[in-house]
Structure 1
Amino acid sequence: MATEADTCRKLIVPRLQRAGWDDPPCAIQEQRTFTDGRVMFVGGQPRRGQKKRADYILRYRPDYQIAVIEAKAGYRSVQDGVQQARDYAEVLGLRFAYASNGHEIVEIDLAAGTEVTRADFPTPAELWGRQRGELDLPDAAAAKLLAPGFPDAERPLRYYQEIAVNRALEAILGGERRALLNLCTGAGKTAVAFQICWRLWSAGWNKRGDHRKPKVLFLADRNILVDDPKDKTFAPFGDARWKLASNAVSHGRDIYFSTYQAIAADERRPGLYREFAPDFFDLIVIDECHRGSARADSSWREILNWFEPAYQLGMTATPLREESRDTYAYFGEALYTYSLAQGISDGFLAPYRVHRIVTDIDAVGWRPSAGELDRFGREVPDDEYQTRDFERVVALRARTEAIARHLTDFLKSTDRFAKTIVFCVDQDHASEMRQALINLNSDLVAKHADYVARVTANEGDIGKGKLSSFQDLEAETPVILTTSQLLTTGVDAPTCKNVVLARVVGSMAEFKQIIGRGTRLREDYGKLWFSILDYTGTATEKFADPAFDGDPVAVTTIEIDQDGEEIERETAEQHSAEDRDSDEPTKPTELPPDDPSDDLPRKLYVDGGEVEVVAHLVYDLDADGKRLTCRKLTDWTGEKIRTLFATPAAFRAEWALPEKRGAVIDALAERGIDLHALARDTGRPDDDAFDLLCHLAWNAPLTTRSERAKALRARNPDLFARYGEDARAVLDALLDKYATGGPDQLALPQALKVQPVSDFGNPSEIARRFGGPQAMRAAMAELTEALYAA
């Protein structure tokens, strides 16, 4: 019987070759894996889930994939592959998908909504012609769309990055002057921006169609978001790069970098951007564009308005919400969205565990004693202060020390050198937190002076140096950084294992940026997941928001008259009350006072009292990646079993076959069910996992392995009668091994290599007791089937 591999090698590949798909620059990519497999926890240890793999991906050009093919064995129906082909095409952002068993071919055209049977695969020219028809690009623009990207063998684009690049190029070359990409934090927006610029630059595109390289401006709101891309990702542009500053203006380069602040107008100077003619730039890439540039009343909007003739591409990690509505109004609907949930599901981003820690005063509030004075002799007004007030209205040193003490104990119990970022309310709070952590970790500070460091706007170049060391994969210290606003965006710290929230974050956009500091994966450094330590309730509140990682949502209200005719139509984004009361600053730069005494009019400092942690709850991201849960494993195991198997009989039929049991166990692990952890949590280590799962799913009786083995002997005493005494002795020994260790003890050939079975001889000698290997395998299969017969 021909296998799927036979079908691919003997039937599908020759057909693709005849159609011309292996003639350069076209290419056939066979068995192409395009995700890394979600990180799951099995037995408390991280492991990778199943990767998504396409049988074939067809590329019209090296950087432009155009179709996916799902292959099935020749004896199966071609329809068995249609849904898989369709699903993969949707994930990969492709219009065309094919299913084939080598004899039949079904073409799925997602744009046309059709499924048709074809006699053969289309040629590259046919498929590209249909694709071009949808894109509606003139010849010159189509040629530029197919320009090659910069080759990076060490870090090739992931599938979603390639989609984002091509969607942006299609929009720009198609004449869309305002475009937006929505890629979650950690998804690699800078790499996407670089490849877009490289392909346009190498193709010689510009807005007027002249024979020259384009002029590109890369804008962001912080130096770190500009310097890192310029010096690292965009390095292949060489001398074509230039960073704008008040004393560094050039008109002779191609790729410019600047912060808004460096070229915007303020009370001291006119805008530096006016040094350039409005039509000087062909393309402006606005990184983190949700952070103010698109607001109609923003001083930075003046820059975009001045360069109105340029094509403008916004890049954001924020879906459509109240706080980002100006961004979407200006740039339009996102060309492509890649969410945090999808990144975690694909295994490109790290999953997280949330620790909700509550101090006694956060639980019930804090009230000063009568006539209590603060550090500077000011009377503290008699009021009840809550979490949102701490470090904004009143700074309680005891609370800061309690948080620092708990965090220190957490690191001691996990890893004291796990890179950690602590987000504080302001620079002053970050300084207090740093001092408290230094005092509690004096043993390590004595050996590593920078074990704890503050990185805020006031540190300047010193802070940048500490941050650079923190990001360095080879640098052991600093381990803990305390900050307030400065590190919320654009800090690529792939080894950061702990994100600590010591301040309330009202803005969903800012919260997602903060969480993004931990989402980078570095498997080679053991970074497969991260912890969020939440001392303010922000994380649990934000993760509970249904719109946390959802698609952009808009509600359209239509008013009609008594005849059903439309009178008025209004569209408004859905948002929560928390968004409307967002505490995100109007300008994202961190501009707190240089001296704590400047805080005196706005904040009180209380140094006395005691604060204790009264609760520590641990929330895990559930197996579906959709919500946090405190539930025990047993609470959702039954539900997941029933989604896999409709009845106990269906479950039994799969479990009883050793060759299928492994797939069942993998499917359970994919859904977050670890059989060893399940046995531990239920206190039933001696039960057969099959019986335990049936009990949780269908309330079946609980049975130990010893009881199941005993029942088999009582139910079917003549099961082994046909075998000789020597063979029956082996089967009895194997049944005893099952009773103590489970069904894995019945797996061949390992079962024959451990005592007491190995005492009967080597595997060949044991097989001869049954009349040969084939008879022995038949006996083992019969034993397993009988064991699970009831």
Structure 2
Amino acid sequence: MNEASTCRAYVVPGLEQSGWYYDPHNVIEQKTFTDGRIVVAGRKVRRRPEKRADYLLKYTRDYTIAVVEAKADYKLPGDGLQQAKEYAAILGLKFSYATNGVGIVEFDYLTGQERLLDTFPTPEDLWARLRAGEGIDDDDIARRLLIPSYIVDKVPRYYQEIAINRALQNIVQGKKQRILLTMATGTGKTLVAFQVCWKLWEARWNRGGKYTHPKILYLADRNILVDDPKDKMFAHFGDARYKIENGIANKGREMYFATYQAIAEDKNRPGLYKEYPRDFFDLIIIDECHRGSANDEGSWREILEYFDPAYQLGMTATPKRQDNIDTYTYFGTPIYSYSLRQGIEDGFLAPYHVHRIVTSYDYAGWRPSPGELDRYGRDIPDADYTTKDFEKKVALQARTEAIARHLTDYLKRTDRFAKTIVFCVDQEHADEMRRALNNLNADLVRSNPEYVCRVTSDEKDIGRRHLSNFQEVENRANTPIILTTSQLLTTGVDAPTCKNIVIARVINSMIEFKQIIGRGTRLYDGKDYFTIYD
């Protein structure tokens, strides 16, 4: 009897007999949980095989508790155990099973024990064992862990489900006051944050133990990082949402959004955050928490310390390094990490090619001619200038034009309508780059005046409109194809259409580098990889 026949004749009836096919429990058969890595060879693109579990056992709709791997009846019961254990480790499960339809082998990650079984455990048995192993003694805590997710158009992927469940468990069990999730750019941290908030909201969880909705603050350092989740993903909270801004400390809502700058103390006013009681918030979510919030000397750190009674969930895309050590010191070891490498390996993120260009100015350096003036008509001090000096100590227009020419030639050889973001030294450099690219692509600009646009903080609403049009997947006509920027787009911008990342400045931080290339890692139909033009 082959594997398929074994499943029909023995495995499914065995699982049904143990109660797994009866509500609220469920069995997901032949569940694919990765997409398979994208492999690019020349112009050919293929995917490696997906990872697929024979059976996932769900205690409830959103709570997977075990994995089962089945083999043909002429094989040993334990022949599929290594695969089952591998899948359980990836999926964050504590129980894995292998069977040939006649015998069953169980591996229990809670005890480290392996044993032979005649029948599958019941859902109640596994849930009781999991509760005992995880110290979930309180029935009310157990109930809160099983609150269903809000059904949105994006069903959580396996790693998001792990992150959601671990964050939720840490909070409702009171394990840690400060919690950290490290997840690569493009892997859906906002969805994780939303589902955690929704489950706590539906569970009527709060620190005081009252049966009321929690008060939650979503905190970040840029308006785009706050406005986008507030107006999109978190729109399901309806009128419970409120953005703290313009010096007004409203206390009559439950789901708050704010930038550090809007509530922090500065030379013109005391901190607006102090108008809220220290214990006002039950949970604070800090997006891109490596960006100053956990810096020992940062004024923003004072906000987190002021609201110390609240549970604090930090989210970052950057692994622990020397230049973000304060973040990991403050929040501690991540309760879950999902790396850029793993995202690419699973096929959820786009792989990348590196196209390296070295201009003659970067290779040999540059020295001004006697009496040479800068763009403002000032004498340029006589010195040898290298890459680190360009657009900082000296603005070298010829270098900017050389980079723009290289990029234009590359796009002409590949695809002139491939969405591209150029990261420049500062806003002035971004404007010079925009002008150079505009003039080199005048044939396309005649029909699409917004072919090249600058998006920096100076543009305000106009820049946001350009960015929104750039992000548009459905309509590519008469939208920006190339954006020049400096710092604004390094983080928190969902741009699945972006196929080229151009780095036209020196980056001395691995954190910033990973944030920048994260603009290109998201996939969409017609985009299988992206290019880093360095």
TM-score per shorter chain, which class?
Answer: over 0.9
Report how far residue 247 of structure 1 moved. 4.8
Contact map agreement 1:62 1:148 (CA 8 A) in 2:
yes
What SS class does the counterpart of residue 232 from structure 2 fall into? helix
Contact map agreement 1:107 1:116 (CA 8 A) in 2:
yes
Q: 1:401 matched to which residue of 2?
A: 401
Q: CA deviation digits over 1:221-258, x for unaligned, max 9? A: 11111111001111111111111112543212111111
Amino acid corresponding to residue 53 of structure 2 in structure 1: A
Question: 104-113 vs 57-66, which deviates more?
Answer: 104-113
Note if 1:512 corresponds to 2:514. Answer: yes
Amino acid corresponding to residue 227 of structure 2 in structure 1: D
What SS class does the counterpart of residue 267 from structure 1 fall into? coil
Q: Whole-Å Cα distance in 1 between the matches of residues 144 and 429 of structure 2?
A: 52
Note if 1:299 corresponds to 2:299. Answer: yes
Q: 2:487 matched to which residue of 1?
A: 485
Q: Whole-Å Cα distance in 1 between the matches of residues 33 and 285 of structure 2?
A: 27
What SS class does the counterpart of residue 369 from structure 2 fall into? coil
Note if 1:522 corresponds to 2:521. Answer: no
Q: 1:456 matched to which residue of 2?
A: 456
Matches within 5 A, 1:185-584: 185-476=185-476, 477-523=479-525, 526-534=526-534
Report how far residue 109 of structure 1 moved. 1.4
TM-score norm. by structure 2 comes to: 0.97
Report how far residue 18 of structure 1 moved. 1.1
Q: CA deviation digits over 1:728-767, x for unaligned, max 9? A: xxxxxxxxxxxxxxxxxxxxxxxxxxxxxxxxxxxxxxxx
Gapped regions of structure 1 (runs ≥ 5) = 535-790
Matches within 5 A, 1:96-107: 96-107=95-106
Report how far residue 120 of structure 1 moved. 1.4
Q: CA deviation digits over 1:574-624, x for unaligned, max 9? A: xxxxxxxxxxxxxxxxxxxxxxxxxxxxxxxxxxxxxxxxxxxxxxxxxxx
Q: Whole-Å Cα distance in 1 between the matches of residues 95 and 434 of structure 2?
A: 55
Contact map agreement 2:281 2:310 (CA 8 A) in 1:
yes
Contact map agreement 1:452 1:481 (CA 8 A) in 2:
yes
What SS class does the counterpart of residue 391 from structure 2 fall into? coil
Report how far residue 112 of structure 1 moved. 2.0
Q: Whole-Å Cα distance in 1 between the matches of residues 371 and 262 of structure 2?
A: 48
Amino acid corresponding to residue 390 of structure 2 in structure 1: F
Q: CA deviation digits over 1:99-123, x for unaligned, max 9? A: 1111111111123222211121111
Q: 2:165 matched to which residue of 1?
A: 166
Q: 1:52 matched to which residue of 2?
A: 51
Contact map agreement 1:179 1:334 (CA 8 A) in 2:
yes
RMSD of Structure 2 on Structure 1 (CA): 1.1
Amino acid corresponding to residue 244 of structure 1 in structure 2: I
Q: Whole-Å Cα distance in 2 between the matches of residues 529 and 248 of structure 1?
A: 45
Q: 1:112 matched to which residue of 2?
A: 111
What SS class does the counterpart of residue 300 from structure 1 fall into? helix
What SS class does the counterpart of residue 357 from structure 1 fall into? coil
Amino acid corresponding to residue 478 of structure 1 in structure 2: P
Report how far residue 385 of structure 1 moved. 1.4
Amino acid corresponding to residue 16 of structure 1 in structure 2: L
What SS class does the counterpart of residue 482 from structure 1 fall into? strand
Report how far residue 43 of structure 1 moved. 5.6
Contact map agreement 1:246 1:272 (CA 8 A) in 2:
no
Contact map agreement 2:34 2:346 (CA 8 A) in 1:
yes
Report how far residue 42 of structure 1 moved. 4.5
Matches within 5 A, 1:6-85: 6-42=5-41, 44-85=43-84
Q: Whole-Å Cα distance in 2 between the matches of residues 83 and 51 of structure 1?
A: 17
Q: Whole-Å Cα distance in 1 between the matches of residues 146 and 157 of structure 2?
A: 18
What SS class does the counterpart of residue 459 from structure 1 fall into? helix
Contact map agreement 2:357 2:533 (CA 8 A) in 1:
yes
What SS class does the counterpart of residue 51 from structure 1 fall into? coil
Q: Whole-Å Cα distance in 1 between the matches of residues 318 and 173 of structure 2?
A: 25
Amino acid corresponding to residue 75 of structure 1 in structure 2: Y
Contact map agreement 2:160 2:188 (CA 8 A) in 1:
yes
Structure number with greater Rg is: 1
Report how far residue 79 of structure 1 moved. 2.5
Q: Whole-Å Cα distance in 2 between the matches of residues 508 and 132 of structure 1?
A: 40
Q: CA deviation digits over 1:636-657, x for unaligned, max 9? A: xxxxxxxxxxxxxxxxxxxxxx
Q: Whole-Å Cα distance in 1 between the matches of residues 165 and 446 of structure 2?
A: 52
Contact map agreement 2:249 2:276 (CA 8 A) in 1:
no
Report how far residue 371 of structure 1 moved. 4.2
Amino acid corresponding to residue 111 of structure 1 in structure 2: L
Misfit runs of 4+, over 6 Å = none
Q: Whole-Å Cα distance in 1 between the matches of residues 444 and 494 of structure 2?
A: 25
What SS class does the counterpart of residue 467 from structure 1 fall into? helix
Q: Whole-Å Cα distance in 2 between the matches of residues 235 and 306 of structure 1?
A: 28
Q: Whole-Å Cα distance in 2 between the matches of residues 375 and 301 of structure 1?
A: 40
Contact map agreement 1:179 1:314 (CA 8 A) in 2:
yes
Q: Whole-Å Cα distance in 2 between the matches of residues 320 and 375 of structure 1?
A: 41
Gapped regions of structure 2 (runs ≥ 5) = none
Report how far residue 141 of structure 1 moved. 1.1
Report how far residue 473 of structure 1 moved. 1.5
What SS class does the counterpart of residue 291 from structure 1 fall into? coil
Q: CA deviation digits over 1:418-458, x for unaligned, max 9? A: 11100000001000000001110111111111111100011
Q: Whole-Å Cα distance in 2 between the matches of residues 39 and 376 of structure 1?
A: 49
Question: 113-122 vs 492-501, which deviates more?
Answer: 113-122
Q: Whole-Å Cα distance in 1 between the matches of residues 439 and 301 of structure 2?
A: 46
Report how far residue 369 of structure 1 moved. 2.6
What SS class does the counterpart of residue 68 from structure 1 fall into? strand
Contact map agreement 1:264 1:271 (CA 8 A) in 2:
yes
Q: Aligned pair count?
A: 530
Q: Whole-Å Cα distance in 2 between the matches of residues 375 and 184 of structure 1?
A: 40
Matches within 5 A, 1:105-144: 105-137=104-136, 138-144=138-144
Q: Whole-Å Cα distance in 2 between the matches of residues 338 and 114 of structure 1?
A: 27
Note if 1:93 corresponds to 2:95. Answer: no
What SS class does the counterpart of residue 10 from structure 1 fall into? helix
Amino acid corresponding to residue 315 of structure 1 in structure 2: M
Q: Whole-Å Cα distance in 1 between the matches of residues 45 and 111 of structure 2?
A: 42
TM-score norm. by structure 1 comes to: 0.66
Q: Whole-Å Cα distance in 1 between the matches of residues 184 and 206 of structure 2?
A: 29
Report how far residue 187 of structure 1 moved. 0.4
Q: CA deviation digits over 1:515-563, x for unaligned, max 9? A: 000000002xx011111100xxxxxxxxxxxxxxxxxxxxxxxxxxxxx
Q: 1:706 matched to which residue of 2?
A: none
Contact map agreement 1:35 1:51 (CA 8 A) in 2:
yes
Q: 1:543 matched to which residue of 2?
A: none
Contact map agreement 1:38 1:347 (CA 8 A) in 2:
yes
Amino acid corresponding to residue 168 of structure 1 in structure 2: A
Q: Whole-Å Cα distance in 2 between the matches of residues 295 and 42 of structure 1?
A: 43
Q: Whole-Å Cα distance in 1 between the matches of residues 376 and 233 of structure 2?
A: 49
What SS class does the counterpart of residue 519 from structure 2 fall into? coil
Contact map agreement 1:293 1:300 (CA 8 A) in 2:
yes
What SS class does the counterpart of residue 269 from structure 1 fall into? coil
What SS class does the counterpart of residue 401 from structure 1 fall into? helix
Q: CA deviation digits over 1:165-198, x for unaligned, max 9? A: 0010111112121100000000000000000000
What SS class does the counterpart of residue 358 from structure 1 fall into? coil
Contact map agreement 2:375 2:395 (CA 8 A) in 1:
no
Question: 372-381 vs 14-23, which deviates more?
Answer: 372-381
What SS class does the counterpart of residue 305 from structure 2 fall into? helix
Amino acid corresponding to residue 216 of structure 1 in structure 2: I
Contact map agreement 1:471 1:493 (CA 8 A) in 2:
yes
